[in-house]
Structures are given as C-alpha cells and as structure tokens.
Amino acid sequence: MSSKAGYHGVILSIDLSTGKAQKVAIPSEDLDNFVGGQGLGIKILYDRLKKPGVDPLSPENPLIFMPGPFSGLPVPSSSRTCVVTKSPITAPRKSDFSHASTVTYSNMGGFFGPEVRFAGYDGIVITGKAPVLSYLVIDDAKVEIRDASKFKGMRTDAFDKAILEELGDRKYKTVYIGPAGENLVPYSCILHTAGRAAGRGGAGCVMGSKNLKAIAVRGTGQPGVADHAGFLSALDKARSVLNGSAYAKSWAEQGTARGIVGNSNAGTEAVRNYREGTFTEAEKIGAGTARRDVWVRDIACYCCPLACKKSGMTKGKYGGIVHDGPEYETGVMLGSNLLISDMAGLLKVITSIDDLGLDQISTGNVIGFLMEAYERGMINRGFLDGIDLKWGSVDATLAIIEKIAAKDGVGALAAGGVRALAWQIGQGSEKFAIHVKGLELAAHNIQANLPRGLSYATASRGACHMSGDNVAMQNRRAILDSTGMCFFPTFEPALEEPMLSLLSAITGRQFDKAEFEKTGERIFNLEKMFNYREGFRREDDRLPDRFFDDAFTLGPKKGAVLNRDVFEMTLTEYYKERGWDPETTKPGASKLKELGLHYL
C-alpha cells in the first residue's frame, strides 16, 4: 500500500512576490512521520527556514494552512485547520538573532480545511509579499491573485459578506484578516465565518505582512482512503460512540462556556489580571445565563455532532447579533479577568475584537494589565489617551480595543503585548505582565494549578493552555492536532479505539496507541528543535512572578500560591522525562535518534 494513501500527496505552494503557484510533492516519509495538520506544518516550516533568526514579517517566512488526513472525509468533528508559521510576538531572553522567535500554530474549526482537501491539496504554503493588498482564489487547480484594495480596512463581519458576494458562489470557503492584521498588530488573528479564528501567536500579523487580505477555496474532489471497508466500520463505531455520549450532549448544551462558572468555583479562573482564581459574579456571564437570555442557535463545524458554537441576540445599549460567545476563553479573558459581568457588554466586546481581527486571549490579557497598572497609579489617563480604564468598564474596554487595532496612541504600545508594555511602564509592572516567551497566558489561572503552569512554561508556542499538562498529554495533543480532528470529542474515552482505526484505514499505516503517541512525541521534539535553534533555553520556560508571590485572597483556593522550588524541580523532572538536557533543554542525541530525528 502506498504511503500516500489517504493523501493527495501535494501542497499548493504560492509565492505572492512572483505570482507563481505550483503543486509541490510531499515526501512520503514526511506523511508517515508527521501525518498532517500541526505535525506536517512544523516539518515544512523547519525545512523552509533553513537558518534561525528570519524576520517573521519578512516575505521568507511561510504561512502554512494545514488540514489533516481526516479532513474532507465524513469523520466526526474533523473540521480543524492548523495555521503554522514563525511567531511575530515571541522572543527568547537572550539570542544571537535579533528576530528570534518560536514556532507558532493556531488551530481553527469551520469548513476551510476540508475544502482545501476537496480542492486537491493536503495544505497551502504561502511565501512572498503581494505588491498591493490582495486575495487568493483557489478553484480546484485554478489559482488567481486578485486585487483587494477596495476591501482595505474592512472589518471581518462586513468582509465575510462582501467577499462571498464578489465571488458569486457561497460554496467558496474563506479565511481573512481584519484591520488589526493589516496594521500588523503582533497578536492579530485569522478569521473564518466571522466567528472562528486561528487566534494565537500572530498568524494574522504574518498574513498582513504578505499584503494578503483573504483566501477563498472551492473544491469538487475528495481524498481517498486505503481501506474502504475498514474505514466504514470504524466510522460507524465513532458515530455510535458520540451519538450516545454525555460529553457530546454537554458540548451542544453549554459549549465551552460551561467552564466559566465551573472553573471559578474551582478557584482556577483568570480573574482581575490573574490576581484571583474566583469571580464572584461568574453566574452572570456563564452558560446558564447565556442559554436563557442570549443563545437561540447551536452551530456545528464540518461533520461535527457537538455543535459547541452558539449564536443569538442581545438588546439594550450593547444590543446586537452574537456570532459566538461567550466561550470559556473569551468569557473569562474579557469578562472575569476584567471584572466585566454585564453579559450584553461582554458580548459586544467579544464581537468587536473578532470584527477587528484580534486574538481574544492576548487582547483581554493586555487590557487587564493596563487596568491594573492604572489602578496602581503607574499610568494615568494621559497615558491612556483620556480613557478611564477602570475594572469592569465596558465602554473603556471598547475604546482601548479600537486603539489597539489601529495602533493609535496608547494602542501602538498596547499592540506590542504585555511584555512590551511592562518594558515601557517599568515600576515593577513586569511582575504582573502575564506572559511566557512573550505570548500572553490563556484563561486558566495557576496559583492552584501547577500542571497547567507546566503547560504554559513548556509549550512550544509560548504560554499555551492547549498544549498539555504533562509529557503524555503534550504528545497526544500534538498528534491530535495533526489529524484534523477537534480536541473536544476526545474527552469521550471510548472514541480512542475507533479514532485509531480510522487513521489506520485512511492512511494504510497501522496506528496503535503507542505509535500514535510516539508520532506526537516526534512532532513536539521537532518544535523544540526549531525553538532551540532560535536560542530558547531553560531560562525562557519561566512563569511570571505573580504566581509565586501573590496568593489568592478569596474563593475555595484562598491562600494558594506556587512554590518556586517545587516548580523548578517539576521542570527538571519534565526535561528528564523528555530526554532533554535539564540545564539547556536541548533534546538528547539518543532521544532524537529514537524518534527518527537524528538528522537534526
């Protein structure tokens, strides 16, 4: 059986500088070793950037859209596309290269990845820079670069409608940036369907640096499978598992927003710029309130029985259509973290950030940092261009968001993230600048959650809550994000066996649990080698001082704080388990050889 079974065996490579588009064969061994999605994207990035220190905003940096082998097939929850590039927001504490940064990968659902596979490709790799703002149209084998000048500055909601009207066919699936991406805000994101995002790590900034407003894809084919009978059998099992799953039903009922109240009650939520772990008004912005007062429709991605996305309508001062939210991350980072408990106001903030094309997590973190600095008297209203940025203020939050996206006044500083703001403000503000390697933390607080702290410290793209809280979880997440399947249905343990059977039947390569997780380990180690090549060392796997010094003052985890000695010991044990040098964090030669990465 060919190693290309289940794949087209090609990526679409586009150079915006020359206008050249070509199919490029994917080496069979790369499909075997890295599968697709995150894994194959990382391998392409590593190979394309032959040397460290490449400017993430240079034409040389590839922007990679990578579905997986599940994409384009009727596999449950197989909607995901991994966007891989070199990050414009991270940096090591020391490096020989002025533009050193981490790999970044951002995973979005919807319908774009499957459509890429329908069009006959296993991924899209974009380099170069268009001479004017442009958009790509990919219609099976036909590729065009079109002028997008008339769309310049258009927000994502309006653009989502305008681009489909111009194309004249709603079968096109589109991804695009907003004003923040065009203005090169380092934590701008890429949007799809106006509410799904490749949010973390600044992929939208990289897309903007290429003068690329959007990509539209339409395909009429479908990938094949190696073992059709085996595929149908495994597919039937996977569907049966999820159809009877309490997990699946809970996603449909409450989405990720169910965690807003749950994590607050557990004392592990980001509250008041991570000063606390419990938000006393969490019920006002939780899933129960949203289901009662806002949500009217549950929305699913491609082939997904979970339907975790929600839409509805709010009324009053902040009334309007709700594309999505509150989700856990958006509800916490822009609600609990800013002490905003007005549901309609919160949803207005969420909608505005998506409309401008900003990462919800980093934006909420930046605003929380500014609110605390303002409260402490480290900055004044003059610094904030007259904005009275008090805790809980929806109007002030909306005003600062507009400034960030436009890089206007204080927004030009805030666009650099919390690390850049702390450098500017000084006065000890770095203690509560909540980031790792320059990427802001997500909505899970860690004074009472050491494993999540380890995830933030050691994740490849900077502070990442999705990477995994230990070695085994990290390996598993890396391979999951390489298949094209969403992470959420895998909360159902019974899905594991049919999932492995599906991957085996599609690719013709037998994946048992051990091989599956070893492949994830290979991917994670390749990411580490990319970062190590850029200059990242143990001193970069460092958490902000807040988590060691500022104990919670309320809630069930009152008094909780991390212990520095315990954290350092945990890090050392982590590196040893990984087979990395505990001092430098460089993967050992024997580990690389074991994983087939000896050539690195």
CA nearest to 340, candidates 263, 281, 257: 281
Cα separation, 329 vs 223, whole angstroms: 34
In DSSP notation, 404-460 reads HHHT-THHHHHTT-HHHHHHHH-TTGGGG--EETTEEP-SB--TT-HHHHHHHHH-T
Cα separation, 326 vs 339, whole angstroms: 15
Cα separation, 232 vs 186, whole angstroms: 44
Amino acid at 124: I
- Listed as own residue / partner, the contacts of 91-95 with beta carbons closer than 8 Å and 24 or more positions apart are 91/437, 91/438, 92/437, 92/534, 92/535, 92/536, 92/537, 92/540, 93/537, 93/539, 93/540, 94/535, 94/537, 94/539, 95/53, 95/534, 95/535, 95/536
Residue the block writes with tokens 């259509």:
321
Cα separation, 55 vs 91, whole angstroms: 11
User: Are residues 279 and 271 in contact, defined by beta-carbon separation less than 8 angstroms?
Assistant: yes
Cα separation, 551 vs 548, whole angstroms: 8
Edge-to-edge, what's the strand order for the sheet holding 10-15? 20-25, 10-15, 124-127, 63-66, 81-86, 103-108
Per-residue model confidence as pLDDT tens for the chain (600 residues): 334 789 999 999 999 999 999 999 999 999 999 999 999 999 999 999 999 999 999 999 999 999 999 999 999 999 999 999 999 999 999 999 999 999 999 999 999 999 999 999 999 999 999 999 999 999 999 999 999 999 999 999 999 999 999 999 999 999 999 999 999 999 999 999 988 999 999 999 999 999 999 999 999 999 999 999 999 999 999 999 999 888 888 888 999 999 999 999 999 999 999 999 999 999 999 999 999 999 999 999 999 999 999 999 999 999 998 888 899 999 999 999 999 999 999 999 999 999 999 999 999 999 999 999 999 999 999 999 999 999 999 999 999 999 999 999 999 999 999 999 999 999 999 999 999 999 999 999 999 999 999 999 999 999 999 999 999 999 999 999 999 999 999 999 999 999 999 999 999 999 999 999 999 999 999 999 999 999 999 999 999 999 999 999 999 999 999 999 999 999 999 999 999 999 999 999 999 999 999 988
User: Are residues 572 and 566 in contact, defined by beta-carbon separation less than 8 angstroms?
Assistant: no
Cα separation, 29 vs 4, whole angstroms: 9
List the end-to-end C-alpha distance of the chain, in Å, as a whole number: 29
pTM of the full structure = 0.97
CA nearest to 524, candidates 38, 9, 23, 146: 38
Edge-to-edge, what's the strand order for the sheet holding 190-192? 142-147, 134-139, 212-218, 173-176, 190-192, 196-198
Cα separation, 465 vs 477, whole angstroms: 11
Residue the block writes with tokens 């460290």:
52
In DSSP notation, 194-219 reads TTEEE-TTSHHHHHHHTTEEEEEEE-
Omega before 326 cis (within 30°)?
Answer: yes
Give the pair of three-digit tokens for residue 455: 């995830």
Phi, psi of 60 (to 5 degrees): -70, -30
Cα separation, 97 vs 52, whole angstroms: 7
Cα separations in angstroms, 279 against 151, 291, 452, 554: 41, 20, 19, 9
Cα separation, 111 vs 106, whole angstroms: 15
Amino acid at 101: S
Exposed (0-12), middle (13-18) or buried (19+): which is 569, by Cβ within 10 Å?
exposed
